[in-house]
Homo-oligomer: A and B are copies of this chain.
């Protein structure tokens, strides 16, 4: 039986209710929502609206119409960044970002958007005062992750939110590693734009993502098309969420996402986080006992999400993950994890890291087996 420790890429398994919601949607009311007026189409529309409402409960969002469905977090981040930033604007980001944040920012350079990358520490930690110091007259946006996908390092989003508010700058948060696990309150944390994948901590199917857009923020739309609204017009309608949601949505995926969020709300976010924290603490403590293993990041379960990056001596990270998979049936991810700047920050740009990412369905036994495997690999390498 494969031990899946690649939950930072996508969570697996999903709650049984998610599989069932997808199947029931496709079989029972697989019509096009918001297009036609017949019963099946209305049922499909209701399933989508219900997921919007559940997201509102989870993130303390007022109006379900401010939740936009996208195809993944990358899609959400592109819409947020390109929707907000214009030539002459300045954006601040961090050195721990994923390429889904960095690459759109680099492409915006071509149209004259400036950026500053604030350097984080070697454990991936961010000093919020460095963000304050980077704010310029033309700073429009601070765009940052909530937790690193390499080291799990949790970022001081609420503190940055205060600074952003004080300075009249917008805050975009990439919650790819935290949504569904850590408490995110867009009001308390003063988040203006919140991007998240549906298929990680939110436990929905792949092919789903969300973007929360604070009331009053108008983004340039990235694509135009049929919205089922204002059909008489050749121009993209202004009303939300239609303005940003052209074409047929991923109805079964969104229905499944709704079931995932219901699972989170009924299980309790605190219980989910506690479970992941316990396993992270356990794994960190066991890892520290193995000679030859270098652990990156804060090495403290209160300062990091359930993501642990390591290396064994100078061993190629891909080689280690290959052996974990082939010999020990432990699924992890190695290499740069689409986050080259973060690897530069922690000093692993050449070697990459072997990343263990823990999910709610992992057990203490899974961690013990992974630790046993690592011990054996280390012994082999020492011999």
Q: Could you list which residues of chain A lie within 8 angstroms of chain B, going by C-beta atoms? A: 2, 4, 6, 9-10, 12-14, 18-19, 22-23, 26-27, 30-32, 35-41, 71-75, 77-78, 98-100, 102-104, 106-107, 197, 199, 205-209, 221-228, 231-236, 246-253, 318, 321-322, 324-325, 331-341, 349
Question: A106 CA to B246 CA in the complex, in Å?
Answer: 15
A340's nearest neighbour on chain B, judged by CB, is B232
* 25 examples of A-B residue contacts, CB within 8 angstroms: A6-B40, A19-B27, A22-B22, A26-B205, A36-B333, A37-B322, A38-B333, A39-B325, A71-B250, A74-B225, A74-B226, A75-B223, A78-B223, A78-B225, A99-B231, A100-B224, A100-B246, A197-B248, A206-B250, A206-B253, A207-B250, A231-B336, A233-B340, A234-B341, A250-B250
Question: A242 CA to B252 CA in the complex, in Å?
Answer: 25
A22 engages B26 (CB within 8 Å):
yes
Question: A72 CA to B14 CA in the complex, in Å?
Answer: 24
- Given the complex, which residues of B lie within 8 Å of A338, measured CB to CB? 35, 225-228, 231
- Given the complex, which residues of B lie within 8 Å of A209, measured CB to CB? 247
B73 engages A247 (CB within 8 Å):
yes
A6 engages B23 (CB within 8 Å):
no
Cβ-neighbour of A74 out of B14, B223, B325 (below 8 A): B223
Beyond contacts A22-B22, A228-B338: 5 other A-B pairs, Cβ-Cβ < 8 A, are A35-B338, A78-B224, A104-B223, A207-B250, A231-B336
Question: A77 CA to B333 CA in the complex, in Å?
Answer: 34
A107's nearest neighbour on chain B, judged by CB, is B224
Question: A102 CA to B13 CA in the complex, in Å?
Answer: 41
Cβ-neighbour of A41 out of B41, B106, B331, B339 (below 8 A): B331
3 closest A-B pairs by CB: A207-B250, A74-B247, A226-B338
A248 engages B72 (CB within 8 Å):
yes
Distance (Å) between the CB of A329 and the closest chain B CB? 8
A35's nearest neighbour on chain B, judged by CB, is B9
Question: A334 CA to B27 CA in the complex, in Å?
Answer: 23
- Given the complex, which residues of B lie within 8 Å of A324, measured CB to CB? 38
- Given the complex, which residues of B lie within 8 Å of A197, measured CB to CB? 247-248
B206 engages A251 (CB within 8 Å):
yes
B2 engages A39 (CB within 8 Å):
yes
Distance (Å) between the CB of A263 and the closest chain B CB? 14
B22 engages A10 (CB within 8 Å):
no
A246 engages B103 (CB within 8 Å):
yes
Distance (Å) between the CB of A325 and the closest chain B CB? 4
The listed residue with most B CB atoms (<10 A of its CB), out of A197, A253, A322, is: A253
